[in-house]
Chains A and B, each alone.
Chain A
Amino acid sequence: DQQVKQNSPSLSVQEGRISILNCDYTNSMFDYFLWYKKYPAEGPTFLISISSIKDKNEDGRFTVFLNKSAKHLSLHIVPSQPGDSAVYFCAAISAGKSTFGDGTTLTVKP
Chain B
Amino acid sequence: DSGVTQTPKHLITATGQRVTLRCSPRSGDLSVYWYQQSLDQGLQFLIQYYNGEERAKGNILERFSAQQFPDLHSELNLSSLELGDSALYFCASSVEGGSAGVALNSPLHFGNGTRLTVT
Contact = CB atoms under 8 A, between A and B. Distances in A.
A97 B2 contact: no
B111 interface: yes
Contacts, number: 60
Interface in B63-119: 90, 92, 96, 104-105, 107-113
Contacts of A91: 108
A4 to B, nearest CB: 8
A interface, size bucket: 20 to 34
Given A44-B110, A102-B41, A93 B2 contact: no
A103 B107 CA distance: 17
A89 interface: yes
A100 B107 contact: no
A43 B113 contact: yes
Nearest to B4: A43
Nearest to B57: A97
What are the 8 tightest A-B residue pairs by CB atom distance, in nearest-first order? A43-B110, A46-B107, A102-B42, A32-B105, A96-B104, A100-B43, A100-B42, A44-B110
26 contacts: A6-B42, A9-B40, A32-B104, A32-B105, A34-B107, A36-B108, A43-B2, A43-B90, A43-B110, A43-B112, A44-B90, A46-B107, A46-B109, A49-B107, A51-B105, A93-B104, A93-B105, A95-B104, A96-B56, A96-B96, A96-B104, A97-B45, A98-B108, A99-B45, A100-B43, A102-B40
Interface of A: 6, 9, 31-32, 34, 36, 41-46, 49, 51, 89, 91, 93, 95-103
